[in-house]
Structure 1
C-alpha cells in the first residue's frame, strides 16, 4: 500500500518529536527540611562518623557514609579520627513502599480503520474518534527514600545541624537513590533553622547524578542570601 504525503509528514513529525524528547533533562526532586544552630565560626571543620553499637559492622551504612563524606568535603569538612574531631556526624536512612492507584481513561474507536478529518491532517483519528469509554483503576508501586544527617559537637554533645531529605518514585533501590538524597540534604549548607525546600538534581544519560551546575529557581525569596548551591543541585524554594 502506497503511503500518501500526509502520512509521510506525520511520521516525520513524530520522529522529530521523539528525538527532541530523548534529549530532555530529567530531574530527581527531593524535599529537604533543616534545623540549624550553626555558628559558622569554625575555621576547620573536622568530623568523624558516629554509630550505634548495633551498627558498627554495617556494610550498608559504610556505603552511605562514603557518599555523605563526599558531599561534606565540598563544604570544607575533613574526616579525622574520632578523638580529633570537632563534630560527630550520624546518619539515619530508610525506604518505604506503597501502592498508588490512578483512574486512567480507556478509549475505543468505532471505525475499523483510522480516518483523516477535514482540515486536521495530523489527527490520525479525524473527527470520529477515539471516544472515551470510561475509566479503569491502575495500581503502581512507589518508593519513598529517606536520609537524615545529624551533626553534633563532640565535646559538648550539642546538636548544631539536623537535616532530612525525602524523595519518591519508581526506584526500588535505596543505594541508587542515596547520592541524590545526600547531595540534596547538604546543598547550600548550612541552611537556616526551620527551612523547608525542594531541590532538583538532573539525571544524566547513564542514570547517575549529573555534574550540571546548579541555578537556583528565579523568584526564590531566600535564594539571594543563600550560599551557592552544590554542583548538580537546583533549589526551588
Structure 2
C-alpha cells in the first residue's frame, strides 16, 4: 500500500470518527500547507483578486473572495484596483465526498427486562457475552481552499497556501469560513510548513473569533491529494 493511499484512508477514518462524535465536538481542525518566498512589508500589501476569463461573473467565487479578503485585512492587506495592486490573489476550491464504513459494537442482552440483578453480579444485565459488530456507513466530505499570491509586475509566486479539512459537513460554503481563517491564521508561514489549526465553532455554526490552537508538523509530511476548482 503506498503512502498516499494509506494517508487518505487514515484521514477518512479520523473524519468518520469526527462524524460519530459530532454531537460533542466544538472545534474544526484544518491542515494547512504553505510554500513561501514572502518578503513584503505592510506598506506594500495592496492586492486584487484575479480570475479566469470564464469566471468573471461567478457568484460562488465572489462569496469566497469576500471571506478571504476579510482574513487578508487582518494582516494589513488592502484591496485596490487591479492596475494599482502589488499582489494578485487567486483562489482554488473544491469538495469531495467519500463513504467510510466503521464497525460498531452491538451487545446481546440475554436477560428479559426488567432486569433486577443477581446477588454479586459483576456483569450487569449483559453478562460476560462478547459483542458482535455491525458495519455502519457514513458520508465524509473533504473541503479544500487554495490561496495563491503573486507579484503583479513580475508574475512571481510569493505565497501558496492550501487548507483542507474533513467531516460530515456537506456544504462547502459553510466550511469556507474555517478554511479561509485557517489558511491565513499564521501568515506568513515558512516555506514547506505543514500546520494544524484548531478553531472553535461559534454561535450559529460559524467560526468563533479566536484561533484556539495551532501546531506545526515537519516539512515533507505527505498530504492527501485532492481535486480543486481553480480560479486564477
Larger Rg: 1
Q: How many residues align?
A: 195
Report the equivalent of 1:9: none
**Does residue 162 of structure 1 match 2:160?**
yes
The 3 A distance-change label for structure 1 pair 62 and 128 is closer
TM-score of the superposed pair, with normalisation by structure 2: 0.77
Listed as ranges, the matches of 1:201-212 within 5 Å are 201-212=199-210
Listed as ranges, the matches of 1:1-237 within 5 Å are 26-41=26-41, 43-113=43-113, 114-116=115-117, 126=124, 128-129=126-127, 131-212=129-210, 214-216=212-214
Q: Distance in 1 between matches of 2:118 and 2:75?
A: 61
Q: Distance in 1 between matches of 2:103 and 2:141?
A: 20
Structure 1: runs of 5+ lacking an equivalent? 1-22, 223-237
TM-score of the superposed pair, with normalisation by structure 1: 0.75
The 3 A distance-change label for structure 1 pair 205 and 149 is same
The 3 A distance-change label for structure 1 pair 117 and 168 is farther
The 3 A distance-change label for structure 1 pair 157 and 117 is farther
Structure 1 residues 142-151 or 105-114, which shifts more? Answer: 105-114
Q: Could you say which structure has the greater relative contact order, defined with CA pairs below 8 angstroms and 6 or more residues apart?
A: 2
Q: Distance in 1 between matches of 2:153 and 2:68?
A: 22
Q: Distance in 2 between matches of 1:119 and 1:127?
A: 12
Q: Distance in 1 between matches of 2:128 and 2:136?
A: 20
The 3 A distance-change label for structure 1 pair 55 and 111 is same
| Preserved CA contact (<8 Å) 2:28 2:199 | yes
Q: Distance in 2 between matches of 1:118 and 1:127?
A: 12
1:209 match: secondary structure = coil
Q: 1:61-112: CA deviations, max 9, x gaps?
A: 0000000000000000000000000000000000000000111111110001
| Preserved CA contact (<8 Å) 2:195 2:217 | no
